[in-house]
């Protein structure tokens, strides 16, 4: 058990993707500099937004379909593959690198945080597990553009299907790990936002996704609302990681920094289309 630690809990209303990424990085800067307590941030996206991993090529995006669906595009500061953020709860853990819950290697921190994520799902009656090693599922493509198609070490699965996809960045002597819990809706929508050689490949990708990923609704047979899921995350982090939360809003300085990051980085083509 970790010694008791006081963190901030920040729950923000649904926001555009570029703003969500800007606020995550802004808070990371302040936390890493010792100007803020560690943070668990819980949020959502509006409108729906396709996020690319830090090193994912922009050529993966089907811009025509993206525009026709009214979806936005952002590049994350973290690695991994594309996610279509909609109908989900997103979490962000933001802490200094020497915080015991995230200290050590990326894999070590993933393992520790995964214990809280799994407990959150158990509180929601979801029989989740976080396994260390995942073989590449038969028929999947290791270089596939879709994040949820293939689970990674210590990512969260239910009945062998990926449920929470997470990614991590380490900058400014701080750690940002964020991830998505799909609550309901059609997982295969993301294939409409990505480029394929032909419609047959698109359909095959959609089927692979259904074979290897799931949503809360698909498991429970009912729609779980965002607030219920958020409460389970808060409770699990309190219990498993021995955290006392102070529920706060982002402060004025964090919001000002996020505005700068929004304009100069996350809403700018020089970042989004850089590779």
pLDDT tens readout for residues 111-126: 999 999 999 999 999 9
DSSP of 198-246, one letter per residue?
SHHHHHHHHHHHHHHB--HHHHHSSPPPHHHHHHHHHHHHHHHHTEEEE
- Burial pattern 43-80, b for ≥16 Cβ within 10 A else e, equals bbbeebbbbbbeebeeebbbeebbeeeebbbbbbbbeb
Tens digits of per-residue pLDDT, 124-135? 999 999 976 544
List pLDDT tens digits, range 192-244: 999 999 999 999 999 999 999 999 999 999 999 999 999 999 999 999 999 99
**Predicted pLDDT at 179:** 96
Share of the chain residues as helix, strand and coil, in percent rounded to the nearest 5: 40, 25, 35
Q: What is the pLDDT of residue 155?
A: 76
Q: How far apart are the first and last CA of the chain?
A: 43
Predicted confidence (pLDDT) per residue in 13-61, tens digit? 999 999 999 999 999 999 999 999 999 999 999 999 999 999 999 999 9
Task: State both tokens at 81.
Answer: 């593959």
Sheet holding 83-85, edge to edge: 72-75, 49-52, 83-85
- Active-site positions read 147
pLDDT at residue number 150: 47
The pLDDT score that the predictor gives to residue 6 is 98
pLDDT at residue 152, as a whole number: 59
Most confident of 105-109, 140-144, 216-220: 216-220
Q: What domains are defined for the chain?
A: 5-272 (3.30.930.10)
Q: How far is CA 253 from CA 15, 19, 81, 82, 259, in A?
A: 19, 15, 31, 30, 10
- Give the model's pLDDT for residue 131: 76
* Residue 154: predicted pLDDT: 72
pLDDT at 1 (0 to 100) = 84
For residues 104 and 191, give the distance between their C-alpha atoms in angstroms, rounded to a whole number. 36
Higher pLDDT: 114 or 1? It is: 114
Question: Over 80: is that where the pLDDT of 95 sits?
Answer: yes
Q: What is the Cα 31 distance to its own chain's centre?
A: 19
* 3-state SS, residue 190: helix
What is the model's pLDDT at position 21?
A: 98
**Is residue 162 scored above 70 in pLDDT?**
yes
> Is pLDDT of 141 > 60?
no
Q: What is the pLDDT of residue 84?
A: 97
């Amino acid at each position: 058990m970790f010694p008791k630690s006081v963190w901030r809990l920040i729950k923000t209303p649904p926001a555009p993707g570029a703003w969500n990424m800007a606020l995550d990085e802004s808070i990371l800067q302040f936390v890493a500099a010792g100007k803020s307590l560690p943070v668990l941030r819980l949020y959502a996206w509006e409108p729906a937004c396709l996020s690319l991993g830090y090193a994912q090529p922009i050529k993966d995006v089907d811009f025509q379909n993206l525009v026709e669906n009214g979806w936005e595009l952002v590049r994350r500061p973290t690695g991994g593959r594309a996610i279509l953020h909609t109908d989900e709860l997103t979490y962000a853990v933001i802490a200094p690198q020497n915080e015991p819950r995230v200290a050590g290697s990326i894999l070590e921190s993933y393992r520790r945080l995964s214990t809280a994520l799994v407990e959150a799902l158990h509180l929601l009656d979801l029989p989740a597990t976080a396994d260390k090693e995942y073989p590449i599922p038969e028929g999947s493509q290791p270089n596939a553009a879709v994040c949820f198609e293939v689970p990674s070490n210590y990512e969260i699965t239910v009945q062998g299907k990926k449920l929470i996809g997470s990614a991590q960045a380490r900058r400014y002597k701080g750690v940002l790990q964020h991830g998505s819990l799909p609550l309901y809706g059609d997982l295969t929508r993301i294939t409409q936002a990505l480029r394929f050689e032909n419609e047959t490949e698109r359909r095959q990708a959609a089927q692979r996704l259904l074979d290897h990923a799931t949503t809360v609704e698909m498991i429970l047979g009912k729609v779980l609302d965002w607030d219920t899921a958020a409460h389970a995350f808060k409770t699990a982090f309190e219990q498993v990681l021995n955290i006392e939360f102070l529920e706060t809003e982002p402060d004025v300085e964090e919001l000002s920094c996020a505005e700068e990051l929004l304009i100069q980085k996350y809403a700018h083509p020089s970042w989004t289309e850089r590779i």
